[in-house]
């Protein structure tokens, strides 16, 4: 809901549990008033504070305060909007033009505040969208050049978010690298500025465009947390700042330092959405609100249950051929797999990383009769068929590169740096994007493909576009817009097609790509022990419904570590279960155990994929890690517990559950034991874990229909 007080100019945006208030002040600038617990319009008006006289001639306008701090005047904080007009003038001065409020669809309300520069022909519109069923507020900005000369956007953030004053703050965010993505960190943000960014042209393994801030004492279950996530899959920058008064805020948007976006006469730029959330209920409530929002408002097919997948990459590497794939497919089907995916190596001269990328015709060597016989066999076995593609890349040793050496990102007189023996196709070019769309839509149609794993295996470098004026500045956004457009066109052509976002693992996971794909590959690291912390970081914002997780062979290809099959399954069952081992080498015993665990997953996956997550115990070296997924109506819950390497003598602690129906009893579906919800939540369940390293369990609890005369047993006292 959005309301307005014309006398004071206060706008109040209300979500089910939170309020956001702002006002166009006497200077015409949009200023922040509040972001936190629910307020009435009258209460929000009380928050208007007349500007204090400057303490000295050295103080400027506080950085925390404008809805989109612009460059200019006495502002010395990080600008969210920094422009250069044709005559070299840089500052922007707000002149309000009006506002619009409308409901694009039932349950959503949008506010657009329109401004122009007082002198120059640039329109700046701040957009806000609230939902009836979510506390997430979406914000974005539209900039339009209404003049007849170019304007350069040196920085065009989507939004700036201001926190209420607190004695101190703490910042949560993730860092990582290839094969160790989404490592969670919590620390005090510096006085000054903390920049989180990707300059790689892709979301990156190294940072992810979300932040959470709290006053320093929030826990998993308690405390106020302010967070935001950017829906963008290219370079990005988020600057968290603390002014001299200690107050915190942050600004974020597409693009990294040193790039500028030219706006030609008449052209406009719509920033990506930067969504923000205030939650009182700690990091757990914050994550659950993001998960619910992603399911309700981001994913294209949120209601679907994702199938159990098999992927042949770790089993075969580039040794992909029809008979080998058929042998794996037969075993996968017997295991209960529902979607069979052929990974890299099925096309052109792709027999290693060195050649063939870009030549998207089926390899006659591996598939003398084309892909048809394999696709038919996979379908006959009752599974869907998926294929790996990497449309944005080319090996220099390919027919495509020999034909179109100018299609790659490049800068005259500069080395074309290869990573993994590949160069980046310039998706910003219309012809390149159209070429990719053309072969992809034909491929999907000709081979009845149900699923694509869309990969992107290197960062951009020598990011130039010499044929295009100011191409090196334009390409960062145009690349991403064309990527989105190609995916959108493909999905429109093939409504049944489902897509996984992969970038050498979790290099491209964000709300932008998730709004047009169905799941993501969080990491190439399939070691179950490492995966526990990768999944923990992933789950802070992104829901399990999007988190693909495979069971692979041991010793693990990345870490050399061996952990039991059951532990590997239990970890992968916390997301969208997949299998990636060489099934032709699994013993009968392993195949039987795997089939039983796949079966078990199918009985609980609706809880994982559509339930609510409680992280009961966060990853620890020597203690159990535990997560719980609960049905929305609290009729069922799944508890997954993973114990790494317990220290001898460490106390065995009960795991306290959460979110159950307090008056109910729940039956353990495998042991039959019945527990009172109050006992499970207040005192806890002593997990039945065998002694030793790598013990794990999956407990499926089902509410006992009331009334019941069963007596509880088996709970910890």
What is the nearest approach in angstroms of ligand GLA to the Cβ of residue 252? 27
Contact map string, positions 299 to 318, toward ligand GLA, x by CB under 6 A:
--------------x-----
**Is 359 a residue that touches ligand GLA (CB under 6 A)?**
no
**Is 189 a residue that touches ligand GLA (CB under 6 A)?**
no
Residue with tokens 């080319």: 394
- Tell me the β-bridge partners of 187: 171
Tell whether the torsion through CA atoms of 658, 660, 663 and 666 is positive or negative.
Answer: negative
Burial of 368 (0-12, 13-18, 19+ CB in 10 A): exposed
Stretch that binds ligand GLA, among 73-81, 121-129, 500-508, 571-579 (CB under 6 A): 500-508
- Tell me the β-bridge partners of 342: 387
Q: Cα–Cα distance between 77 and 215 in angstroms, integer? A: 21
| 455 noted as active-site residue | yes
Contact map string, positions 504 to 523, toward ligand GLA, x by CB under 6 A:
xx---------------x--
Structure tokens at 65: 């305060």
Catalytic-role residue among 135, 455, 527, 530: 455
Catalytic-role residue among 524, 527, 530, 553: 524
What is the nearest approach in angstroms of ligand GLA to the Cβ of residue 503? 7
**Residues of span 379-408 touching ligand GLA by CB under 6 A:** 388
Query: Residue 344 or residue 359: which is nearer to ligand GLA going by CB?
Result: 344
Query: Residue 524 or residue 530: which is nearer to ligand GLA going by CB?
Result: 524
Burial of 676 (0-12, 13-18, 19+ CB in 10 A): buried
Closest to 476 in 3D by CA, of 246, 256, 228, 161: 256
Residue partners of 569: CB distance under 8 A and separation at least 6? 551, 577, 594, 597, 601
What is the nearest approach in angstroms of ligand GLA to the Cβ of residue 206? 15
Query: Residue 12 or residue 577: which is nearer to ligand GLA going by CB?
Result: 577
Stretch that binds ligand GLA, among 11-19, 169-177, 329-337, 501-509 (CB under 6 A): 501-509
Query: Residue 306 or residue 615: which is nearer to ligand GLA going by CB?
Result: 306
**Is 344 a residue that touches ligand GLA (CB under 6 A)?**
yes
Query: Residue 67 or residue 455: which is nearer to ligand GLA going by CB?
Result: 455
What is the nearest approach in angstroms of ligand GLA to the Cβ of residue 386? 12
What is the nearest approach in angstroms of ligand GLA to the Cβ of residue 346? 11
Q: Cα–Cα distance between 406 and 184 in angstroms, integer? A: 40
Query: Residue 397 or residue 524: which is nearer to ligand GLA going by CB?
Result: 524
**Is 181 a residue that touches ligand GLA (CB under 6 A)?**
no
Query: Residue 282 or residue 345: which is nearer to ligand GLA going by CB?
Result: 345
What is the nearest approach in angstroms of ligand GLA to the Cβ of residue 401? 17
What is the nearest approach in angstroms of ligand GLA to the Cβ of residue 200? 15
Candidates 125, 457, 552, 696; binder of ligand GLA (CB under 6 A) is 457
What is the nearest approach in angstroms of ligand GLA to the Cβ of residue 578? 11
| 530 noted as active-site residue | no
**Is 455 a residue that touches ligand GLA (CB under 6 A)?**
yes
Closest to 96 in 3D by CA, of 147, 12, 158, 23: 23
**Is 454 a residue that touches ligand GLA (CB under 6 A)?**
no
- Tell me the β-bridge partners of 456: none
Stretch that binds ligand GLA, among 22-30, 185-193, 502-510, 593-601 (CB under 6 A): 502-510
Size (the chain), residues:
717
Q: HEC string of 97-126?
A: EEEEEECCCCCEEEEEEEEEECCCCEEEEE
Q: Cα–Cα distance between 642 and 624 in angstroms, integer? A: 5
Count of residues near ligand GLA by CB under 6 A: 11
User: Do the beta carbons of residue 522 and residue 551 sit within 8 Å?
Assistant: no
User: Do the beta carbons of residue 614 and residue 630 sit within 8 Å?
Assistant: yes
Closest to 569 in 3D by CA, of 622, 612, 605, 607: 605
Sort residue 57 into left (φ over 0), alpha (ψ -120 to 50) or beta: alpha
Residue with tokens 């607190």: 166
Structure tokens at 523: 């990491």
**Residues of span 20-49 touching ligand GLA by CB under 6 A:** none
Candidates 502, 551, 576, 701; binder of ligand GLA (CB under 6 A) is 502
Query: Residue 457 or residue 609: which is nearer to ligand GLA going by CB?
Result: 457
Q: Could you tell me where the DSSP H helices lie in 336-404?
A: 372-380, 399-403
Closest to 287 in 3D by CA, of 227, 332, 231: 227
**Is 348 a residue that touches ligand GLA (CB under 6 A)?**
no
**Is 338 a residue that touches ligand GLA (CB under 6 A)?**
no
Structure tokens at 57: 């001639």
Query: Residue 231 or residue 502: which is nearer to ligand GLA going by CB?
Result: 502
DSSP characters over 533-564: HHHHHHTTTS-GGGBEEEE--SS-TTT-----
Stretch that binds ligand GLA, among 119-127, 328-336, 499-507, 709-717 (CB under 6 A): 499-507
Can you give the binding site for ligand GLA, defined by CB under 6 A? 313, 343-344, 388, 455, 457, 502, 504-505, 521, 524
The catalytic residues are 455, 524
């Amino acid at each position: 809901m959005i309301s307005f007080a014309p006398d004071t100019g206060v706008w109040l945006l209300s979500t089910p549990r939170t309020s956001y208030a702002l006002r166009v002040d006497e200077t015409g600038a949009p200023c922040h008033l509040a972001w936190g617990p629910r307020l009435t319009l009258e209460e929000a008006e009380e928050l208007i504070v007349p500007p204090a006289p400057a303490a000295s001639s050295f103080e400027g306008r506080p950085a925390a305060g404008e809805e989109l701090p612009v460059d200019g005047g006495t502002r010395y904080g990080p600008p969210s909007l920094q422009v250069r007009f044709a005559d070299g003038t840089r500052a922007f001065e707000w002149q309000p033009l009006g506002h619009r409020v409308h409901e694009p669809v039932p349950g959503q309300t949008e506010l657009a505040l329109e401004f122009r520069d007082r002198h120059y022909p640039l329109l700046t519109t701040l957009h806000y969208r609230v939902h009836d069923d979510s506390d997430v507020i979406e914000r974005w900005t539209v900039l339009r050049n209404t003049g007849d000369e170019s304007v350069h956007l040196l920085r065009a953030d989507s939004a700036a978010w201001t926190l209420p004053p607190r004695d101190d703050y703490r910042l949560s965010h993730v860092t990582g690298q290839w094969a160790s993505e989404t490592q969670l960190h919590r620390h005090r943000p510096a006085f000054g500025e903390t920049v989180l960014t990707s300059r790689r042209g892709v979301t990156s393994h190294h940072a992810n465009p979300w932040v959470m801030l709290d006053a320093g004492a929030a826990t998993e279950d308690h405390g106020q947390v302010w967070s935001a996530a950017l829906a963008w899959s290219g370079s990005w920058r988020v600057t968290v700042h603390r002014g001299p008064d200690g107050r915190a805020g942050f600004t974020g948007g597409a693009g990294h330092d040193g790039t500028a976006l030219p706006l030609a006469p008449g052209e406009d730029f719509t920033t990506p959405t930067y969504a923000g959330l205030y939650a009182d209920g700690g990091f757990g409530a914050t994550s659950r609100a993001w998960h619910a929002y992603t399911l309700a408002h981001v994913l294209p097919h949120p209601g679907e249950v994702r199938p159990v997948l098999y992927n042949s990459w770790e089993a075969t590497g580039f040794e992909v051929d029809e008979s080998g794939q058929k042998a794996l497919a037969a075993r996968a089907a017997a295991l209960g797999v529902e979607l069979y995916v052929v990974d890299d190596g099925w096309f052109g001269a792709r027999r290693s990383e060195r050649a063939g990328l870009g030549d998207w015709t089926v390899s006659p060597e591996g598939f003398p009769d084309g892909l048809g016989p394999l696709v038919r066999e996979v379908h006959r076995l009752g599974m869907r068929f998926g294929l790996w593609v990497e449309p944005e890349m080319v090996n220099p040793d390919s027919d495509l590169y020999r034909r179109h050496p100018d299609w790659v990102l490049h800068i005259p007189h500069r080395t074309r740096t290869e990573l993994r023996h590949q160069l980046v196709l310039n998706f910003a070019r219309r012809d390149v994007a159209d070429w990719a769309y053309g072969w992809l839509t034909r491929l999907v149609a000709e081979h009845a493909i149900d699923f694509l794993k869309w990969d992107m295996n290197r960062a951009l470098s020598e990011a130039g576009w010499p044929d295009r004026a100011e191409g090196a500045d334009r390409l960062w956004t145009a690349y991403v817009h064309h990527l989105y457009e190609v995916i959108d066109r493909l999905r429109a052509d093939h409504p049944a097609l489902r897509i996984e976002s992969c970038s050498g693992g979790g290099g491209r996971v964000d709300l932008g790509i998730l709004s047009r794909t169905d799941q993501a590959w969080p990491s190439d690291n399939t070691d179950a022990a490492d995966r526990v912390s990768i999944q923990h970081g992933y789950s802070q914002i992104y829901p399990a419904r999007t988190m693909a997780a495979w069971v692979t062979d041991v010793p693990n290809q990345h870490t050399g570590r061996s952990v039991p099959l059951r532990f590997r399954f239990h970890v992968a069952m916390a997301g969208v279960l997949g299998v990636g081992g060489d099934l032709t080498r699994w013993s009968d015993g392993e195949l039987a155990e795997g089939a039983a665990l796949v079966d078990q997953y199918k009985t609980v996956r609706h809880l994982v994929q559509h339930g609510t997550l409680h992280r009961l115990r966060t990853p620890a070296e020597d203690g159990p890690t535990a997560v719980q997924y609960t049905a929305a109506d609290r009729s069922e819950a799944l508890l997954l517990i993973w114990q790494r390497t317990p220290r001898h003598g460490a106390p065995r602690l009960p795991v306290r559950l959460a979110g159950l129906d307090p008056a109910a009893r729940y039956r353990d579906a495998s042991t039959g034991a019945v527990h009172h919800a109050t006992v499970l939540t207040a005192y806890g369940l002593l997990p039945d874990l065998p002694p030793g390293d790598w013990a794990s369990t999956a407990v499926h609890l089902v509410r006992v229909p009331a009334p019941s005369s069963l007596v509880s047993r088996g709970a910890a006292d």
